[in-house]
Every structure is written in C-alpha cells, then in structure tokens.
Amino acid sequence: MNPGMKLLLVMIIALEISFTQSLTVNIILIGVSLIYILLQRVHMKALFGLLFWPLFPALGLFVSQWLYGSAGIHFAWILFTRIYAYVFLGATFTLTSSITDLSLTLEQDFRLPAKFAYGVLAAFNLMPKITEEIRIIKTSALMRGQALHFWSPKLYFKSILSSIQWSQNLAEAMTSHGFVEDQARTHYKVIRITAMDWILFVGLLVIVQALLYFLRY
Amino acid sequence: MDNKSQVSGGKKQSQWTLRNIILIALIAIFTGIIFWGAGFLYTALTVALTPIGMAPFANDLLMGLWCMAGPLTGFIIRTFGSAFLGEFLGAAVEVFLGGQWGAGAFISGLVQGIGSELGFALTGYKRYDWLGLNASIFTTVVITFAWDMIKNGYNKFGLPLLLALFITRYISTFIFGGVLTKMIVKLLDRSKAINL
Amino acid sequence: MTDVSINHFTFHYPESDVKVLNDINLTFKSHHFSLLSGPSGSGKSTLLYFIAGLYPRFIGIDATGSIKFGDTDIKDIPRSKVSQSVAMMFQNPNQQFAMDTVIHEMTFVLENLRLEPATMDDIITRALDFCGIKQLRGRVINTLSGGEKQRVALACIVAMDPQVIVLDEPFASIDPDSRADLIDKLKILQEKHGKTIILADHDLTSYRDLIDEFYYLDPDSHHISLLDDEQAEHFFKNFESTQTINKQVPIPSGDANAIIHLSDFKLAPHGTDLLTLGNFHFYKQKTTLITGANGIGKSTLFNALTKLLPYDGTITFDGKDIKKIRPLPYAKNVTLLFQDAENQFLNITVKEEIDLSLTNRTNTDYTQEDVDDMLKQLDMDGKDDRIVYSLSEGQKKKLQIIEMLIMNPPVLLMDEPFKGLDYRSLETVVGFLNRAKSQFYQTQIVISHQLSGLDELVDYHATFKDQNLAYQEVIK
Ligand SMILES: Nc1ncnc2c1ncn2[C@@H]1O[C@H](COP(=O)(O)OP(=O)(O)OP(=O)(O)O)[C@@H](O)[C@H]1O
Ligand SMILES: Nc1ncnc2c1ncn2[C@@H]1O[C@H](COP(=O)(O)OP(=O)(O)OP(=O)(O)O)[C@@H](O)[C@H]1O
Ligand SMILES: [Mg+2]
Ligand SMILES: [Mg+2]
C-alpha cells in the first residue's frame, strides 16, 4: 500500500480508538496488525520488543484505573489493549515502509513542498551521526570535568550548535546538488496512489467504522 | 555558525527556507534521541509506581521533557508552525527508534505540537520572552491534559487524583519546557549563534 | 570559453575588523586546473563559496565587486541554471548528501536538474564508472568511508556535468591512495572533458606537476597573486620541509613504566579491521608520536582509548581494565584533546572557559600566574570577554590547548593539536607540553601529520601501518 495512505490510515484509526471504547475492536486491531506484520517477515527480536516494552505503560494504566478509576475493570482492559493497538498499528507502518518512499509520495501525491519532503528526509538520514554526536558532546564534557545529563542546558545548547552548523552544510550541499526551493522537479520513481490504494484505504476504514458501531463491548 | 543567512533579505521573506526546515528537523531529532536515552527512567518510574496504581504520575512527571522540542524550535525559528513541526518530528523520531508508544507517539506528537504552537499563536508570534513561553506552557498542559482525559482514561479518576496529576504535569512542563528552555535559549543568545 | 573572472571583489565579515578578501582581481582560466593555497583562515573557503553561488545566499552578507562566468555576472544566472555552470565539492564528507543510498542521491541530483527519467540510469552508470565506484551503487551512504563518500560526491558532480568544478579542501579527511586517485580523475575531467577546476588546499602533496596555475592568498595583504614557476617551486619545497624531520629516538620495551597497555587488541568498529595488536605499551611521562596515512585508523584508536567506540581485547590504565573504571574518573585521567576545538568548549566566553577548567581540574599544579602567562605567550590575553565561537580557528585551538593543560590530566591524548597554529605558536605550545611532562609527570600521546618543530618534544615514535602499530627509531 502507498506509504502515505498507510500512515494516514494508521493515524486515523489510532485517533478513533482513542475516543471509542471497544475492547473487542482493540483486540481485533491487534490481531490483524500482528498477522500483517508476521506476513512481512520481521525479526523475532523486533517482535519481542513490540510485546515487551509496552507492557510497562499498559500495566501501569491498567492498575491505576482498576484501583482508582470509576469505570471498572472493563475500562481498565480497554486502556491496556489500547496501548498495544497503538503499538501494533504503528509497527504495520514503521516495520514495512521506508521513510524515503514516504517522502517521495508526500512530495508527489500529497503536494507537500519538496523542501519539506527532502529537508526533513535529509535530517532523518543523519540519525546515526546524531547519536554519535551526542556521545561526543557528553564525552568531551566529561573530559572537562562536567557530566551532562538530559536535564543539562549545555547538552541541548551544544546539540543546537551542531544542528545549526549541520543544517547550513546540508542546505548548501543540497543547493550545490541542484536543488532549488519551490521549483518543479522530475521524478525517476513515480509513486501514484492507485485505485487499489483507495479501495484498501476506504474499505479498511469502513470496516473499522462498522466494527466500532456493532462491537460496543 | 551564522544564522543571518537567508533570513536577512526583506522582512516579508518566509522563514520556511530549506535551511530552517532542516534545522527544525535536526533539533527535533537531537532532542528526540536525548529523551529516548532517558526512556529507561520512564520505565523505571512506571515499574515503581504501578503496584500502588500511581503509574500515570510517571507520564505526567516526564511530560515536560517530551514537550521540549516544540518551545525550543518555536523560539529559534520564530514563525507560524515551527513549534508544531519541531514537536511533531521529535515524537516521530521515537516511533522510528522503536519507542514503546508506536502510533501513539504520532498522535501525542500532533497533540503536543498543537499545544505548544497555540501558545506562540496566542501571543501573535511577537512575544519571545517569559510571557510567550508561559503561554506555550499553559496551552501545552491544558491541551495534552484534555487529551489524556480521553486517551488514558483520566476522566474516570476522582477529582483529587486528577488535580494532583494536573499540577504534576504543570510543574514538569514549567521546569523542562519553561526554565530549561529559557536557559538553553539564553546560552544560544549569549553565544550569538543565532540572531534571537 | 567561460573564464571565471573576479573583479574588484571585496568582502568582510561584520564581526571582524579586516577585509578577508580585499579588492581581488583575477581570472581562473577556462579548461585550466587552478590551485588556490594560503594559510588557514586566509579566506579561501569564503571566495569559493561565492564562486559556487552559495554566498551571499547562505550567509546573508554581500560582497562588493563581481564574479563573472564568461560575460555573465553570476547574480544574473537564474537559480535553476546555476548548477549547469558550477558545482562544489566540500571538505566535510559527512553533511553533503540528502538521501540514504548512493543511487537515491544521484537520482535526486538529476531530478533537481529536471532531466528525463529515462536518461538517468545511463548517466548514473557512466558517472559511477568514471569514478570507479560501480560497486557502491546500492550502498547506504552512512556506511561508506570518508574517501568513498568523496568519490560519491565527485560522481554526483560528474553526473551534473557543470562547466566549472569548485573544490574546497576535498581531500582533508581521506587516505593518500584515494587522494591520488581523485586528483587523477579531476585531471581527466579537465583535459578530456574541458572542465574548469578550481581547488583550494593547503596540503600541497602531488600537485606539483599537475596544476596549470598556482594562486596564493596572502593573509596579511588579503590579496591573491598568481605565482610564477620559481615562486611556486619555493612553496612546494617549503611545504615538503615541514613534512619531515630527522631524529633518532630510542625504541622502548618491557612493561616497566608502562601506563597504558593493550593486549589481544582488535579494532574494527565499522566492520573492516583497522588494527590488530597482541601487546602494546604506552609509557609514563613520555611523549609518544603516532604517525600514519590518512584514514588508517589513528583517530579511531583514540576513540577506543577514550571509550567512545567499541573494541575487542583489553585496554588497561595503570593496571586496571578501563571498562571497569567509571566514566567521569576515567575521563579526568585519560583525556582527549579533540580534533575539533569547538567540541571541547562548554561555555560562552574565553574567561568562562578558563574558569571552568580552573574549577574542575583535579590538581592545582598550575598557578593563576602560570595561566595568565600561558595566555599572554599565545596572544590570548585581553580576550576575556570574547565569545569562543567567534574566535579564529587558530585562536580556538590555542584556547583549547591551554584549558586542557590546566585540567592537567595524567594522560593527555592529542589528535592533530598543531593544526592551524603558526610556527611560533607551535614552538610555544611545545614548550608548555615539555613543562607538563617534566614538572607534572604527564604522559602525552600525539597524532600529528605536521612534524617540524616537534624534535624537542617527542620521546618515542610509533608508526601505524598495515593494521599494526610499531615503535620506530627514526622520525622522518
Ligand atoms: N561567519 C563568520 N563570521 C565571522 N568571521 C568569519 C566567519 N566565517 C569565517 N570567518 C573568518 O574569515 C576568515 C576566512 O575564513 P575562511 O573559512 O574563508 O578561511 P580559509 O582560508 O578557508 O581557512 P581554512 O584553510 O582554515 O579552511 C577567517 O579568519 C575566519 O575566522
Ligand atoms: N562511521 C564510519 N563508518 C564507516 N567507516 C568509518 C566511519 N568513521 C570512520 N570510518 C573509516 O575508518 C577509517 C579510520 O578513520 P580515522 O579517522 O581513524 O583515520 P585517521 O588515521 O585518524 O585519519 P586522518 O589522518 O585523516 O585523521 C577510515 O577509513 C574511515 O573512512
Ligand atoms: Mg576553508
Ligand atoms: Mg584523524
């Protein structure tokens, strides 16, 4: 499915289940997403992470609602499954789509100005370097006798200085590579939203509406 | 290191230049990765608080941290939408790093982004001082709290608990989104790295 | 014929009181290979960014005078057409690609030029072929080495096919083989494809018989002059003499007096093996110089010694496994002077920086007078309120060295500490280091390409070659 449509669908459904209260639908969404993910052959380790880490917030919400909430154990279960529904819905997108394709379709089909699509993409592609840079900032501070933590203004200050320099370098390099803001470009890989995408998008959305309407428990 | 670039032309010129877009995204990713490193803290707090049913406090205690990218980018690129974009992208980073929120982080990012943007909007993108910052803190707390009433079932809690959570969140947002942001902006200001 | 002519070109940064470029008049001839040299901070990059059409747009301050391609002022070329005239290759291989993979980046470039998609595959294949990197086509850019990234950058430019190619110290971070190879490619581009090449560099290796013109930017007059053969020869000779010294040093052995010990050590943080060592010692209260080709892994070794990157085997400091020493105490004992001075700064003004070191140091061996005296000797006195980020590269380096000396760690690692320092400052710094060694028992390990002036300092010399590190008797 077109990554833009997929992201939109995931976000709409996630938004909807935040407002509605159906345990059954949450479980169905988890199940369907899980099957979809499994069909795409993901690593067991990734799958384990998906199951394990959300356990903490989910359990936390569950217990507090159970002890202090006025809506009983059923509602606590809804909150519990809601967390997992978010996670698995999100995973159907993140584990199976590339950010590059997302940018391409946002530019070509969703009429997002190219400078946003490629500017943000270029920044995301630097993610490994950013992790490295944060480590360098922390280590060099240690060598001057200061430990920087996530609450230290200087850690952010140094990060922002790097961001300023890097954004300048990247923008210059992209410009030198022929990129001109607000100018039409050709497209080697044309990503279209196909009839099939629309059918899937609308179809799945309708099904979720129907489920939410009929399965109130 | 000089930020007068591109911006200095006519006053009318849009701030949404390629460079500024990349800058917002980079700041969002840097902060996103720093918070992600602090993710263990959330898990640890949750584990500690779950047996007494107080786990939502973990959420509210750290809320300010998660809502920092917005005020920061809003302060650095002073134009409509920059706080929103920074906050939203900051949350999106967590999704791609495989945070424990999944699609929830996208939605939280949207809500928090609207929250911090609204404050700057209320002051007409003119007050880049304590007032503007406090407006942003206020709208962030109100909007995200309203959202958690729905999403995390806060509306089913009794009034005392609700009040305690709200105050916790306000303090957290004030400290991280307010005091810490102000300190960072002051450093930037003094270093002349950016023409504030 | 599109000569690049610079006419009455004057530029000055508002923060500085001098004009970096003062009434420059010269013509880079079409189809020629021009080399522009000059000391660090003389204004080479500034000029090249203007020629490439990136300034004034990205700096917001305009210059007076004009730059013309043939008869057309660069300002009159529509923005969408600039990249047909000129493209630039940058010094830093890291932030010059927007996309994730090589093929995506090259496609992105051609899309920007609004080429027909059907023609792209061909152009890309030919450009990759020309640069000898067909096999990198599908690779993720983040996993490439510096030299490979620079080849990809060149391939992008070849695909774009601009008239003029501007390069700003493009080989600063890559190994000699890649460097020689890339220079060859540039020569072919000039001779066979009629490109105009304008290249800035202060490392003069391998340009001697290859360039058509040698321009020199004089840092005092802020003028650029075209050198005649004799003058050029003088520069090349001078440069070579700074690359060698001739000194005999002893080869140490045994573990008496050793302070850092590497055993069964293997360094391969990015997949390829960089260094394998059965046993290696660094010695207490000595200065060990490490030399080796660009990209061989010297900085990476320092990163392992400071726990920034993973390694196999064991490193001990003072008999303790460094993995068992907590980060803060370890960082105060084995300290790295980072290659990029800005990395080391945590405050805003010069005084705050010095004060931070005075507050956090582990011992008080240096008195306030010592500090004032060091500042004075390096011309850094009276700059208390200067913003550190606005200092020149050389000044940043000097401040960084002083503040790390004040910290006075038992082991000081230094990665290219003399880069950007003039000869007099270098001698002064060598004096400071000798004092730290003899009076405060400091152990120093230095990576340096620049060797002249270090005779007095170096006790041992280890060369990094063929994935091995071995002590040598001579330094040259
Ligand atoms: N944004 C800026 N604001 C103020 N001064 C600057 C700025 N950028 C550069 N300078 C100063 O202008 C001078 C010329 O800088 P430039 O980078 O062009 O030198 P360079 O010859 O390329 O040096 P290097 O060989 O070190 O790259 C330097 O003294 C530098 O400190
Ligand atoms: N993140 C990375 N991913 C892959 N390869 C890398 C990465 N960082 C460095 N390298 C490669 O590791 C090798 C060692 O690099 P290093 O910086 O240690 O060299 P060096 O000896 O310090 O060179 P120089 O004299 O130029 O400073 C180089 O070939 C470099 O391209
Ligand atoms: Mg330069
Ligand atoms: Mg190095």
ipTM > 0.90?
yes
Q: Taking CB atoms and an 8 Å limit, are C117 and A141 in contact across chains? A: no
For residue A5, pLDDT beyond 70: yes
Question: What pLDDT sits at residue C1?
Answer: 65
The Cα C59–Cα B56 span in angstroms is 48
Pairing of strands C275-283, C258-267: antiparallel
Question: What pLDDT sits at residue B3?
Answer: 41
Q: Mind listing the pLDDT tens digit for each residue in C229-245?
A: 999 999 899 888 877 77
Q: Which of C383, C379, C373 has its CA nearest to residue C405?
A: C373
Q: Give the single-character DSSP code of C101.
A: B
Of B12-16, C221-225, C272-276, C433-437, give the lowest mean pLDDT range: B12-16
Average pLDDT estimate for A138-143: 94
For residue B9, pLDDT beyond 70: no
Confirm whether pTM is higher than 0.80. Answer: yes
**CB proximity list for C372: less than 8 A, separation 6 or greater:** C381
- The ligand 2 atom at the shortest distance from the C-alpha of residue C303 is 18
Question: What pLDDT sits at residue B1?
Answer: 38
Q: Mind listing the pLDDT tens digit for each residue in A180-191?
A: 998 999 999 999
Q: Give the confidence band of B99 by pLDDT, cuts at 50, 70, 90.
A: low
Question: What pLDDT sits at residue C471?
Answer: 95
DSSP string across A53-74: TTHHHHHHHHHHHHHH-SSHHH
Pairing of strands C258-267, C312-317: antiparallel
Q: Mind listing the pLDDT tens digit for each residue in C37-59?
A: 988 778 899 999 999 999 999 98
Q: Mind listing the pLDDT tens digit for each residue in C194-206?
A: 999 999 988 888 8
Residue B1 domain flag: no
Q: Tell me the average pLDDT of chain B.
A: 87
Contacts of residue B35 in chain A, CB cutoff 8 Å?
150
Q: Decide which of B100 and C312 is more confident.
A: C312
B5-39 residues labelled b (16+ CB within 10 A) or e (exposed): bbbeeeeeeeebbbbbbbbbbbbbbbbbbbbbeee
- The ligand 1 atom at the shortest distance from the C-alpha of residue C15 is 4
Angle, in degrees to the nearest 10, between helices B18-37 and A114-125: 40
- What residue segments make up the domains of chain A, in order of their start? 3-101+193-214, 110-176
Q: Does B100 touch chain A (CB under 8 A)?
A: yes
For residue C172, pLDDT beyond 80: no
Q: Does C390 touch chain B (CB under 8 A)?
A: yes
Residue B9 domain flag: no
Look at chain B and report how many structural domains it folds into: 1
**pLDDT above 90 coverage of chain B, percent:** 56
Average pLDDT estimate for C121-128: 96
For residue C406, pLDDT beyond 70: yes
Q: Does A174 touch chain B (CB under 8 A)?
A: yes
Compute, in angstroms, the gap from residue C395 CA to the centroid of ligand 1. Answer: 12
Q: Mind listing the pLDDT tens digit for each residue in A65-111?
A: 888 888 888 999 999 999 999 999 998 988 888 899 999 999 999 99
What CATH number belongs to C4-240?
A: 3.40.50.300
Any ligand 1 atom below 6 A from CB of C25: no
Degrees (nearest 5) of the Cα angle B147, B149, B152?
Answer: 90
The Cα C266–Cα C312 span in angstroms is 5
Domain hosting B142: range is 16-189
For residue B18, pLDDT beyond 50: yes
Angle, in degrees to the nearest 10, between helices A72-94 and B103-122: 90
Nearest Cα residue in chain A from C345: A141
Average pLDDT estimate for B59-75: 91
Helix (H) or strand (E) holding A200: helix A195-214
Average pLDDT estimate for B53-75: 91
C68-79 residues labelled b (16+ CB within 10 A) or e (exposed): bbeeeebeebee
Average pLDDT estimate for C371-378: 95
Question: What pLDDT sits at residue C247?
Answer: 84
Q: Give the confidence band of C171 by pLDDT, cuts at 50, 70, 90.
A: confident
Question: What pLDDT sits at residue C28?
Answer: 95
Two structure tokens written together for A213: 């309407």
Question: What pLDDT sits at residue B2?
Answer: 39
Q: Does C115 touch chain A (CB under 8 A)?
A: yes
Q: Give the single-character DSSP code of C458.
A: -
| Tokens 């009839």, residue located | A195
Ligand 2 mutation pick, C142, C150, C270, C451, max ligand atoms within 8 A of CB: C270
Average pLDDT estimate for C325-330: 94
Average pLDDT estimate for B110-130: 93
- What residue segments make up the domains of chain C, in order of their start? 4-240, 247-475
For residue B70, pLDDT beyond 70: yes
Neighbours of chain B (3+ CB pairs under 8 A): A, C
The Cα B195–Cα C57 span in angstroms is 17
Whether CATH 3.40.50.300 fits C247-475: yes
The answer to whether C4-240 and C247-475 have equal CATH topology is yes
For residue B182, pLDDT beyond 90: yes
Two structure tokens written together for C25: 């008049």
| CA gyration radius, chain C | 24
